[in-house]
């Protein structure tokens, strides 16, 4: 028999803070493993994303298990911190279960509304959580996985971390609060990451400001044990443990940030207020790095590029909750459009990597089109 595992048994179709039955189960090797494990260990509540075959991709059922338990732990005087991690070693969480959402959206099923509403509600709960929240972002961390980690107090990267927000390639936008945290990265780094989907690896995830700490992956188990062994820890006690492991990490210690030599240019190119101007800046520069980024941007959904730039510009002066309200509007507009389904088809289903965007040209994405993506949903707006 393994360690006691709290598994939520729920019979609700929308977020419900009450009437949640906690059933105490012991996981044995004969039991079908739950997609997410929720355990009380030492001083902490531990969330383990447990879909290794799917790179721990986040689905609606997992969100509906995590949210009420997070709220319970936040109120529990015996729980002093919350740790979230993924199984399998390859991914923390590679994103939301986009194929399922795409199929549901095409069939006009309510899941396309519920998924984004409940995902952003969970992301917001992480951002406002009164207990220290430690995300071990070991392995692939993209999209929905970023939403489960980046708004928490502590994010621990390893040499195997791989961060990206590649949504413009599938006709979407960097959601899960991307409109909040991306424009707050240094200079125009967040704008660059959002529009190009550029991948950051290992210590660069820390250097970019996405992770708060960097730990060699072989020490991750010991770090977790040391955190669990703390007695009634304060936020400062937890930070001290993380700082000590960070200070001792040796991998790539002297390596400079991969984008360091390009940062002045990135800040200049991506300070434009229109995607067309950014493209012109890259063309005028003409360096191999600029032309490489230009090639990448030209493959993205023109609609997604324009939505994303405006999302970040507007998000730079909004609160996190205001950003989620804005992003929920955008998500529902994308579900009613063409490019998301075409992007999922080209990248994830047929894998021909040749999406036929509509419109296919930036010039055809008008200000009126854009305004429609950002307009209020009235009584269907996401409210906190």
Does the annotation count 127 as an active-site position? no
Q: Which of 114, 159, 175, 204 is catalytic?
A: 175
Angle, CA 107 vertex, CA 383 and CA 15 arms, to 5°: 30
270 CA to centre of own chain: 22
Does the annotation count 322 as an active-site position? no
Does the annotation count 114 as an active-site position? no
Sign of the C-alpha dihedral computed for residues 365, 371, 377 and 381 taken in this order: positive
Number of helices (H), then strands (E), belonging to the chain: the values are 16, 12
Helices 235-248 & 220-228 angle (0-180, nearest 10): 160
Q: Which of 96, 143, 147, 197 is catalytic?
A: 96
3 state DSSP class of 321? helix
User: Cα–Cα distance between 211 and 257 in angstroms, integer?
Assistant: 13
Given a contact cutoff of 8 angstroms between Cβ atoms, the answer to whether 294 and 283 are in contact is: yes
Q: If you count them, how many residues does the chain have?
A: 384
DSSP E strands in 16-132: the ranges are: 21-26, 36-41, 44-49, 81-86, 91-93
> Which among 136, 120, 158, 125 is positioned nearest to 44, based on CA atoms?
136
Sign of the C-alpha dihedral computed for residues 81, 85, 173 and 70 taken in this order: negative
Contacts of 14 (CB under 8 A, 6+ apart): 114, 118
- Which tokens in the block code for residue 383? 């409210």
Ramachandran angles phi, psi of 147, nearest 5°: -65, -30
Residue 34: C-alpha distances to residues 1, 6, 27, 57 (Å): 15, 10, 9, 13
Does the annotation count 167 as an active-site position? yes
Q: Which of 144, 171, 179, 343 is catalytic?
A: 144
Q: Which of 39, 114, 167, 224 is catalytic?
A: 167
User: Cα–Cα distance between 149 and 274 in angstroms, integer?
Assistant: 30
Please list the active-site residues. Answer: 96, 144, 167, 175
């Amino acid at each position: 028999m393994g360690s006691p595992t709290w598994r939520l048994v729920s019979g609700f179709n929308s977020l419900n803070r009450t009437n949640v039955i906690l059933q105490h189960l012991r996981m044995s090797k004969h039991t079908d493993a739950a997609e997410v494990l929720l355990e009380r260990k030492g001083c902490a509540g531990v969330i383990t994303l447990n879909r290794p075959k799917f790179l721990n991709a986040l689905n609606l059922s997992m969100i509906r298990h995590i949210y009420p338990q997070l709220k319970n732990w936040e109120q529990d005087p015996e729980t002093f911190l919350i740790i979230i991690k993924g199984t399998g070693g390859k991914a923390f969480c590679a994103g939301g279960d986009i194929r399922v959402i795409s199929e549901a959206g095409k069939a006009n099923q309510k899941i396309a509304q519920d998924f984004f509403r409940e995902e952003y509600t969970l992301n917001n709960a992480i951002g406002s959580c009164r207990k220290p929240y430690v995300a071990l972002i070991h392995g692939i961390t993209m999209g929905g996985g970023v939403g489960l980690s980046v708004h928490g107090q502590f994010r621990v990267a390893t040499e195997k971390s791989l961060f990206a927000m590649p949504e413009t390639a599938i006709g979407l936008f960097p959601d899960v609060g991307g409109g909040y945290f991306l424009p707050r990265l240094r200079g125009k780094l967040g704008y660059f990451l959002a529009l190009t989907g550029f991948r950051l690896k290992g210590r660069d995830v820390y250097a970019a400001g996405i992770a708060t700490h960097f730990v060699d992956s072989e020490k991750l188990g010991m770090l977790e044990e040391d955190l669990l062994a703390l007695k009634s820890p304060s936020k400062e006690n937890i930070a001290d443990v993380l700082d000590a492991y960070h200070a001792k990490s040796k991998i790539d210690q002297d390596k400079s940030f991969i984008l360091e030599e390009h940062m002045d240019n990135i800040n200049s190119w991506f300070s434009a207020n229109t995607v067309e101007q950014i493209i012109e800046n890259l063309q005028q520069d003409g360096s191999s790095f600029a032309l490489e980024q230009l090639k990448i941007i030209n493959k993205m959904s023109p609609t997604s590029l324009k939505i994303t730039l405006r999302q970040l510009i507007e998000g730079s002066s909004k609160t996190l909750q205001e950003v989620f309200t804005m992003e929920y509007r955008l998500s529902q507009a994308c579900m009613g459009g063409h490019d998301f389904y075409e992007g999922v088809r080209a990248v994830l289903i047929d894998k021909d990597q040749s999406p036929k965007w509509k419109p296919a040209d930036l010039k055809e994405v008008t200000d009126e089109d854009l305004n429609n993506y950002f307009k209020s949903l009235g009584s269907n707006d996401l409210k906190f």
